[in-house]
Structure 1
Amino acid sequence: MTTRSADAGHDPLIESRADMIGVFSGGEKPREDWRIGTEHEKFTYARSDHHAPSYEEKGGIHALLIGMTKFGWEPVYEGSNIIALSGADGGISLEPAGQFELSGAPLDNLHQTCAEAGRHLKQVKEIGDKLGIGFLGLGFWPDKTRAELPIMPKGRYEIMLRHMPRVGSLGLDMMLRTCTIQTNLDYASEADMVKKFRVSLALQPLATALFANSPFTEGKPNGFLSYRSHIWTDTDPHRTGMLPFVYDEGFGYEAYADYMLNVPMYFVFRDGKYIDAAGLSFRDFLDGKLSVLPGETPRLEDWKDHLSTAFPEVRLKSFLEMRGADGGPWNKICALPAFWVGLLYDDQALDAAWDEIKHWTIEDHNRIRAEVPRLGLAAKGPRGRTFQQLGKEILEIAHKGLAARKRLNGAGDDETGFLDPLREIVESGKVPAQRLLDRYHGEWAGDLSKVYDEMSF
């Protein structure tokens, strides 16, 4: 999630609707400037007994952050607490229960993305080895209750933790017990954004299936392949979901701004602190009628903060965020951006992907979104094809899109090899969660502690 440590200097007041729309149009870039941003989270645990370390304890999350400064990462403070790091490879931040996240730098190609992920892995493992901390690649804590998890000292999380139970039954699980991999991608124009949004929103459940990796809750199978994905269905209906208006004629920046103005607020950041505005209206804020800041109107950073508090399957800021995948092992980190770059960054691939989904109805989108967390690749699309069959076709399109990019590494390899883990999944029909369930019911004999050996980095 977005990290703020101080008020932005010279942050202009929002004077018109055009200022808000400008955040979206300001993201437009020519093709040669399109970049790939990859975010990945992992669970931290003490190797001695698998507990989730607190911020304050000896050898805990604070010590982990301090240790990472050895590699040139600069501390980011909220009050007196280090709550994030910044550096050449982007930023490191903490999710609410200490999930450790790298928000990578915007990079030109997937070879760079994978090298970045490799550097991060090497660094966290070196510091983790010294502190006795391990890192687990799953989409949901397999064995922890909410009560067993610590809370990181970030002001926005205090507000969200209070608000979540008011609007859904699973929001606290989303905050405390999930991990994801995300990819952030650029667009050239409003029309390009719209097409990419529509294609990626429709195919987000396919990414969910391919990366499904959260079949356990509190030590036992939970009946889902991606429980992390299911959690979003009862987190907060005002700020999650498939956004059917994206497929309306005339959809664009204006319509997304209207959606965000209807999303209730969480907070306002002032003087280094988060002010609780949970459930209040950004429209009232624009009119100077926000009850917690009477007479004050928002600045541009307030709008950008607000954009970060909606959690649909695809999110628009000054780029598009792909949000459907569970956290997972290291090779899946490179596979997710490969999937989306192959589909969205080549015109022929984007057209081919659009042809696959352009006839889907809103009812199709909603049904598929509801079924995939349980069924994975066995879910069926509108014409009766399984997602395994659809996945083979979509991966072939992504392969052609990556090949057309002709981004080569020093050995002369293009980017298509990063799709290999996903090809193996669609060929077998087994998503990662199903392989874990096979081990749980087989060689592990119901001993879920074995997952730490299997899924640690």
Structure 2
Amino acid sequence: MKIYDLDEALYNKYIAPTKKDRGASIGIEIEMPVVDISGKAVDEATVLSIADRFREHFRFEITNSDDNGNVNSMTHEETGDNLSFDCSYSNLELSMGKSDDLNILHKRFLKYYNYLQELFRPFGYTLTGMGINPHYNINTNRPVPNERYRMLYHYLHSYRRYEGDIGRHFHDRPDFGTFTSASQVQLDVSHDDLIETLNVFTLLEPYKALLFANSYLPEFPDYLCARNMLWEHSMQGYNPHNIGMFTDKLHSVDELIEYIKSQSIYCTMRDGKYIDFKPVSVRDYFELEKVSGEYFDGSSYRSTTFSPECCDLQYLRTFKFEDLTFRGTIEYRSSCCQPISDVMTVAAFHTGLSIKLDELKELLDKDRVIYSHGYSPAELQDMLSKRELPKFLDRDGLRSQLEAILDIAASGLKERAKNEEHFLAPLYDRAEKLTNPAKEMLEGLEQGIPMTQFIEKYSRI
């Protein structure tokens, strides 16, 4: 594929959809750990049987099954709501079909959540609102047996081959995808606001880390939000442009396209089989004659070579905190799953702020609370993901700035006139106390409160 053809293909995939006339709809994805309260590994057969009962009760249609014939994705035809399993059968995801009203989405979520909890309860199981499955070292952490997750598991475990390639450290938990849970929201973005939205929300990431951290992992004790670090220091972060934040301010759509060209492809499909390979930038990939990779033949992995094709662009999968999608939306990916009582905070926060982009930009452009100490947004995001806040940050200033950000979000929600601003209430409390769910849990554990109490607390509506 010639360079000018690649530019056009990227423009058509990512930029052109932002020019289409669309409603201001919201898409929400909530991943939740499945936990056996007794402390045993989750039985996958039990989880699958409950998913089947859920499908029959709500009349969801089968959209995907694993290699053993088990249904692992189902969708309600009318609403577009979906139940699936993200990476493993101990990580259940509810994706809500698009709506323009957070209250409607919340009501549908609770209907599904309550029914699932009724089904799980007799088995001593529960869903809970944590970004790390509290039994991550007890569960089997096996990938869902299908092409995509088997490939991803294999690719993430290939990190030892490439440790000498880049000056970054890979952690030793390549199975992290099976036990990490996110709360993600997709919002339509207009062409005129695209670049500004990416720039402004990048500056917001350090404050988000402080508000939404909920993925403490004892193996990385400094972090209250280990989930993002796990992505960044894995094969997903082999190319830093595939993960995390935009390190430089974007000035134009042309710059954004050049950035996308610098991101890496690491998988594609041929004859119904996923092939994974050493990451190569989009810019270079389509100039290659042959690519060497591996695929699963049903019993083991085999080496193969293939030629790049234009359709391979659909397998460019990145995990930016602000990820532009082919739907003309920005997917905000950096937030952990929240306690179920606060489950709508992530969506409400981003929705309100997107309405007041100019006000948010002005606040962050003038910020001297965190952006006056010589650190980049990415460095600050990492610092504010940790338990101990940097000593150079003024605590009162942090509280005031967080509250100012929340006031802008509330103003945006009020402008929508759908009575959605009440979803922000838990965040005001966190801002006042400079706390988050992970910090609250860790402090409780150190005071002798058992983990089971937090599993139960974070599962309450």
Shorter-normalised TM range: 0.7 to 0.9
Residues of 2 paired with 1:366 and 1:104: CA distance? 30
1:90 and 2:101 are equivalent in the alignment: no
Paired residues of 2:36 and 2:126 also in contact (CA < 8 A)? yes
Paired residues of 2:212 and 2:338 also in contact (CA < 8 A)? yes
Displacement of 1:285 = 5.0
Question: Which position in structure 2 is the counterpart of 1:193?
Answer: 194
1:124 and 2:132 are equivalent in the alignment: no
Of 294, 316, 320, which residue of structure 2 is paired with 1:312? 320
Question: Which position in structure 2 is the counterpart of 1:134?
Answer: 126
Question: What is the 5 A alignment of 1:404-419?
Answer: 404-407=415-418, 414-419=419-424
Paired residues of 1:178 and 1:228 also in contact (CA < 8 A)? yes
> Unpaired runs of 5+ in structure 2?
163-169, 292-303
Paired residues of 1:142 and 1:214 also in contact (CA < 8 A)? no
Question: Which position in structure 2 is the counterpart of 1:430?
Answer: 435
> CA 1:128/1:270 → structure 2, altered by over 3 Å: closer, same or farther?
farther
Indicate the SS of the match to 2:99: coil
> CA 1:31/1:360 → structure 2, altered by over 3 Å: closer, same or farther?
farther
Paired residues of 1:335 and 1:419 also in contact (CA < 8 A)? yes
Question: Which position in structure 2 is the counterpart of 1:39?
Answer: 29
Which of 118-127 and 201-210 deviates more? 118-127
Residues of 2 paired with 1:339 and 1:380: CA distance? 27
Paired residues of 2:322 and 2:333 also in contact (CA < 8 A)? yes
Please tell me the residue identity of whatever aligns with 2:53. G
Displacement of 1:422 = 0.4
Please tell me the residue identity of whatever aligns with 2:96. G
Please tell me the residue identity of whatever aligns with 1:90. D
Residues of 1 paired with 2:366 and 2:111: CA distance? 37
Identical counterparts, % of pairs: 20
Question: Which position in structure 2 is the counterpart of 1:73?
Answer: 60
1:398 and 2:409 are equivalent in the alignment: yes
Question: Which position in structure 1 is the counterpart of 2:207?
Answer: 206
Please tell me the residue identity of whatever aligns with 1:73. F
> Unpaired runs of 5+ in structure 1?
1-13, 408-413
> CA 1:385/1:195 → structure 2, altered by over 3 Å: closer, same or farther?
farther
User: Could you state the TM-score of these two structures normalised by the residue count of structure 2?
Assistant: 0.81
Residues of 1 paired with 2:453 and 2:393: CA distance? 39
1:20 and 2:16 are equivalent in the alignment: no
Indicate the SS of the match to 1:266: strand
Q: Deviations over 1:294-340 (max 9, x none)?
A: 345122xx42331xx21122111131111221112123221111111
Displacement of 1:271 = 4.2
Question: Which position in structure 1 is the counterpart of 2:294?
Answer: none
Q: Deviations over 1:257-313 (max 9, x none)?
A: 3333333323213444322234245445534734256345122xx42331xx21122
Question: What is the 5 A alignment of 1:376-391?
Answer: 378=389, 386-391=397-402
Residues of 2 paired with 1:344 and 1:311: CA distance? 20
Question: Which position in structure 2 is the counterpart of 1:442?
Answer: 447
Displacement of 1:172 = 1.7
Residues of 1 paired with 2:280 and 2:150: CA distance? 16
Displacement of 1:139 = 1.2
> CA 1:266/1:66 → structure 2, altered by over 3 Å: closer, same or farther?
farther
Residues of 2 paired with 1:387 and 1:116: CA distance? 35
Question: What is the 5 A alignment of 1:240-259?
Answer: 240-245=243-248, 247-248=249-250, 250-252=251-253, 254-259=254-259
RMSD between aligned residues: 3.1
User: Could you state the TM-score of these two structures normalised by the residue count of structure 1?
Assistant: 0.82
Question: Which position in structure 2 is the counterpart of 1:339?
Answer: 349
Please tell me the residue identity of whatever aligns with 2:127. F
> CA 1:399/1:380 → structure 2, altered by over 3 Å: closer, same or farther?
farther
Please tell me the residue identity of whatever aligns with 1:188. S
Q: Deviations over 1:394-415 (max 9, x none)?
A: 11111111112222xxxxxx22
Residues of 2 paired with 1:112 and 1:227: CA distance? 31
Residues of 2 paired with 1:97 and 1:386: CA distance? 41
Paired residues of 1:267 and 1:277 also in contact (CA < 8 A)? yes
Of 364, 382, 400, which residue of structure 1 is paired with 2:376? 364
Question: What is the 5 A alignment of 1:204-283?
Answer: 204-217=205-218, 222-235=221-234, 236-238=237-239, 239-245=242-248, 247-248=249-250, 250-252=251-253, 254-283=254-283
Question: What is the 5 A alignment of 1:147-158?
Answer: 148-158=140-150
Please tell me the residue identity of whatever aligns with 1:240. I
Indicate the SS of the match to 1:417: helix
Paired residues of 2:197 and 2:357 also in contact (CA < 8 A)? no
> CA 1:94/1:387 → structure 2, altered by over 3 Å: closer, same or farther?
farther
Indicate the SS of the match to 1:144: coil
Indicate the SS of the match to 2:8: helix
Residues of 2 paired with 1:201 and 1:364: CA distance? 11
Residues of 1 paired with 2:55 and 2:179: CA distance? 26
> CA 1:263/1:364 → structure 2, altered by over 3 Å: closer, same or farther?
closer
Indicate the SS of the match to 2:87: coil
> CA 1:290/1:171 → structure 2, altered by over 3 Å: closer, same or farther?
farther
Paired residues of 1:90 and 1:103 also in contact (CA < 8 A)? yes
Paired residues of 2:203 and 2:364 also in contact (CA < 8 A)? no
Please tell me the residue identity of whatever aligns with 1:196. T
Residues of 2 paired with 1:272 and 1:194: CA distance? 36
Which of 326-335 and 340-349 deviates more? 340-349
